[in-house]
Structure 1
Amino acid sequence: MAMQHYDVVALFSGGLDSIIAAKVVQEQGRSVKALHFTSPFFGKPHLIPKWQEMYGIDIEAVDVGEEYARLMLDPPHGFGKVLNPCVDCKILMLRRARIRMAELGARAIISGEVLGQRPMSQRRDALNIISRDAGVRDVLVRPLCAKRLPPTPPEEAGVLDRDRLLNISGRGRKEQLALAGKYKLPEIPTPAGGCMLAEVESAKRYWPVLKWGDTPSARDFELANLGRQFWKRDNWLTVGRDQADNERIESLAAPGDLLFKVKDFPGPLCLGRQWPGRAWTPEAVREAAALTARYCTKARRHGGEVAVLVASGGETAEVHVEPCEPAGWGTPEWETAKEELAATRT
């Protein structure tokens, strides 16, 4: 079956600006393929069927998790207030969009960016840097603020009618909300949110992964999203909070990892990540086993030592420990991470 061709490829977050940008272009009679990018830090691919039905936009998910994990090691344009590499994030997405554009025979890329809306990535100079470094100056149009920016090649070529594009700027949403009414959107997304790298509670989980992991993968960051997180230098233990956590933790286990489970009582599954070439000491294994038992309610009530099964590489050992939280293990704190991150910038 021949691949369907589209006129325009759109960056689609699911937020109001990305919806309005797509509707403005559809109103000009142009077909749009929207790309919803996903990673351990953002993306809601499960909502795509709902979005397509509600907004009448053809959307596909694009996984950039591994590329993003590599980007996090050293983003060329740096992090924002938390751990968000907003400029490099948009560059990555636009580069991927350019590849998809060629595959679909499209002639332009659009995004929902609004001049002056975000302090890091939507200043005029940042918009120029993004277009330049992504290599999309000849194809990128920003429909919501196009009239506040110089004409682009797709506008000059008639792919999009500049007169029917918009001149929105700033952080307000009044004009977008009016357009939502015009297009009769059945649901208006709430502003903000969406990227966990901009949230302190999530970012503090990611920093130790960057600090201690040689080459962190998307699966490392997915694991950091789960359960309770404990670190003792580069020893990392994830403790499941419920059955859903336990199942996801098990699915993320790498061949060299350690899986901890109390033998005789129901409780959390815990995963100790063993970085390549850095096997855990017997002492660290015993301490992690004690932590595992600490979060098993029935093991604590039992009193005294309990048996914890430690599985790795197809073999299982049994460790007898008293439930406790050994010294030196702690949950990540953002203030510490912030200081360490600041030191890397000097």
Structure 2
Amino acid sequence: MAKERVTIRDVAARAGVSVATASKAINDRYGVAAATVRRVHEVVAELGYESSLVARSMRIPRTGVIGILVWEIEPYSAEVLKGAAHAVREADYELLVYAAAGRAADRMGWELRYLPRLSGTLIDGAVLVTPTVESTPGSMPVVAVDSHIGSAGLPAVDSDNLGGARLATDHLLGLGHRRIGFLGRPPRDLESAHQREHGYRASLAAAGVPFDPDLVRAGGYGATDLQDAARALLELPDPPTAIFAANDVSAIASVDVALTLGLDVPRDLSVVGFDNIPESALCRPALTTVEQPLQLMGQRAVEMLLALLEGDRLADPQLRLPTRLVERDSTAAPARQAPGDPAGVHAQPAS
């Protein structure tokens, strides 16, 4: 049988005071003797009473809670959440994590549906992880992680997606790959998705490698969508010798599909991801990837939000953090020569 919730009436009865006095003592209001305040707080601890955040928000201007809204809790957002939790550890705030249903059909504009449910009653401000709109309604402070294209007016934290994509593509080019597939990251109207594809194309152009639209596929939200996109690349008449996947989940799916097709990674196919989630080091072969500091992004976003809640002006409302290439076991020189490549110029022996 479920234990009944302790109410403020239970606290008042146990402490031998009125409900009004108990409420004043709990909320540190003027007019209650120090001994009574101590007694009420002892009873609160004894009974495990927790005041309603909604009721509290009706009494005082702030709830003391900040929200972090994510579409779903997956490896990327889980790392961002770790950083957000670290940031509130030393602050006088609590963290409320709110995850949407995760249904792809409902994804566009999800924050507009869920943010009004929390603002003004449960939370004082919000961090939105990978939002799908350019702006949010209302006056509540909001900070974005990985913002929407065109949302320059919204304070945001992201990483150097363009530079990171160039690191990944240049790494594959340096190994001798010329047919490099790109598995894009949805939704494509995120600034990061746009920048990563742009970086891929820029590196090819700088190396004098013609862009081939057949080598570009849009990834999906689910495992089946990701695998289908990777399979479409690998089953081309002239398949790529390498894939740059715009996130680690897509990269790991690409490796899985390659192994299913009887390919060896990295001898027959090199794969590079983006994010450096913990799973990238644990898969086999361990994934070469571009690290963006996900936990630091979550931490900085919350710090920016806390500053806004205190009325401070942000020194840098569009914070961009550096990326770096992490080389592991999923990349090597191509074992087969790309069509049209002069022998010995671009093709290199497999290590």
Do the two structures share a fold, i.e. TM-score over 0.5? no
Tell which has more relative contact order, 1 or 2 (C-alpha 8 A, sep 6+).
Answer: 2
The two structures have a TM-score, normalised by structure 2, of: 0.31
The two structures have a TM-score, normalised by structure 1, of: 0.31
